[in-house]
Amino acid sequence: MSVPRISILMPVRNESRYLKEALLSIFRQTLVDWELIVVDDGSTDDTPDILAAASRQDSRLTLLSTGGAGLVSALNMGIAACSAPLIARMDGDDISHPQRLEIQACYLDEHPEVGLVACGFHHFPRHSIKSGMSSYEKWQNCLCSHESIMLERFVESPFVHPSVMLRKELLINAGGYQSMGWAEDYDLWLRLASEGVGFFRIPDTLFFWRDHPERATRTMDEYSRSAFRACKCHYLLLDYLSGEKNVTIAGAGLEGRAWQRLLLKNGIAVTCWIDVDPHKIGRTLHGAPVISPDQLSDNGNKILAAIGVKGAREQFREVASSKGLVDGLNFICVA
């Protein structure tokens, strides 16, 4: 039996409401040399029946079951069953454009320096998308080059998990998926980044991410803001903040103060704050002075920009650059 070009990895749990549409979007792919590895993680609805019927109709579909061991276990079980050199992620409630697999696979074939390729995406149904998710969609879809993705990787997860395709060898070498108390996909992106894996996003909209109240990003503690912050801090301590004892934080609001508490638990003190609020400038916060961006200078501290206000992150980048500070070297954006 020949090895397929692509293995599609799809973990599911109670996806009967949307699963048929998701499967249909795979069966309609212009690239047909694939296998679909579906791992049922303890469904109690009609999901098993839908999958059984689909597998009888298409032998390219393989069914596995964890018995409800959890998402990370399901993903790793699926990886072990994937036989192709390329793995495309997919979820049971989303839709892939008919050319998604073909375009992503061709890009990886033509660019051996890239290990993971994402694509442009749209949330749907559009009427339910609020401003925060709309801004996230716009932000992520603008990150196409490896360089832009790397500069923004600590701001938020730069990829929609079920929209990516990556090389199986790199995924295995990185240790697969891990349970760390935060989002398993964001953890993987940061591990791959630390190992020098090349990233790229095809700007074409090839994936449609369904928004609904039961989506994992809305229901799992691992996707909370505090969990994401803990994930960022973990990898910053291994690299950018390795050996540091003092830092400067740009942003003396709630996000900046949350970072101050987290860093303090890890033995790093905030010795200077940067903020634009005239009521804060000149005061002392947690024993450290608050200065304005105009007073910014290279005092030897690494700078974390924890600025969540729309547009403020880019304004800080411009000010820092005008002071001779380098993004990713002297400062890094974490919000």
Give per-residue pLDDT as tens, 181-190.
999 999 999 9
Across the range 135-139, mean pLDDT stands at: 95
pLDDT at 258 over 90: yes
pLDDT at residue 132, as a whole number: 86
Q: Check the CA dihedral 49-55-57-61 and report its sign.
A: positive
Q: Kindly indicate the confidence band of residue 1, based on its pLDDT and cuts at 50, 70 and 90.
A: low
Phi, psi for residue 282 in degrees, rounded to 5? 95, -10
Phi, psi for residue 223 in degrees, rounded to 5? -105, 10
Distance CA 282, CA 43 (A): 57
Hey, what CATH topology would domain 6-223 get? Spore Coat Polysaccharide Biosynthesis Protein SpsA; Chain A (3.90.550)
pLDDT at residue 306, as a whole number: 97
Paired residues of 288 in beta bridges? 285
3-class DSSP state of 180: coil
Q: What separation in angstroms does the CA of 166 have from each of 120, 178, 181?
A: 16, 17, 23
Q: Per DSSP, which regions of the chain are E strands?
A: 6-12, 34-40, 61-65, 86-89, 95-96, 116-124, 165-167, 199-210, 246-250, 269-274, 284-285, 288-291, 302-305, 331-333
DSSP codes of every residue in 47-102:
HHHHHHHHHHH-TTEEEEE-SS--HHHHHHHHHHH--SSEEEE--TT-EE-TTHHH
Q: How many residues does this entry show for the chain?
A: 335
Domain range list for the chain: 6-223, 243-333
pLDDT at 244 over 90: yes
Give per-residue pLDDT as tens, 141-181.
999 999 999 999 999 999 999 999 999 999 999 999 999 99
Across the range 94-99, mean pLDDT stands at: 98
Distance CA 305, CA 74 (A): 36
pLDDT at residue 314, as a whole number: 92
Domain covering 243-333: architecture: 3-Layer(aba) Sandwich (3.40)
Give per-residue pLDDT as tens, 62-95.
999 999 999 999 999 999 999 999 999 999 999 9
pLDDT at 214 over 80: no
Portion of the chain with pLDDT greater than 70, in percent: 100
3-class DSSP state of 289: strand
Q: What order of strands is seen across the sheet that includes strand 288-291?
A: 284-285, 288-291, 269-274, 246-250, 302-305, 331-333
Enter the tokens of residue 107: 């890009």
To the nearest 10 degrees (0 to 180), the angle between helices 184-194 and 225-238 is 20
pLDDT at residue 273, as a whole number: 98
Distance CA 278, CA 276 (A): 6
pLDDT at residue 308, as a whole number: 77
- Which pTM value belongs to this model? 0.95
Enter the tokens of residue 194: 């630390």
pLDDT at 318 over 80: yes
Phi, psi for residue 64 in degrees, rounded to 5? -130, 165
260 class by beta-carbon count within 10 Å (0-12 exposed, 13-18 middle, 19+ buried): buried
Enter the tokens of residue 219: 């229901």
pLDDT at 216 over 80: no
**Cα 1 to the center of its chain, rounded Å:** 35
pLDDT at 115 over 70: yes
pLDDT at residue 32, as a whole number: 98
Q: Kindly indicate the confidence band of residue 128, based on its pLDDT and cuts at 50, 70 and 90.
A: confident
Contact 51, 38 (CB under 8 A): yes
pLDDT at residue 299, as a whole number: 85
Give per-residue pLDDT as tens, 277-304.
999 999 999 999 999 999 998 888 999 9
Across the range 95-109, mean pLDDT stands at: 98
Give per-residue pLDDT as tens, 24-61.
999 999 999 999 999 999 999 999 999 999 999 999 99
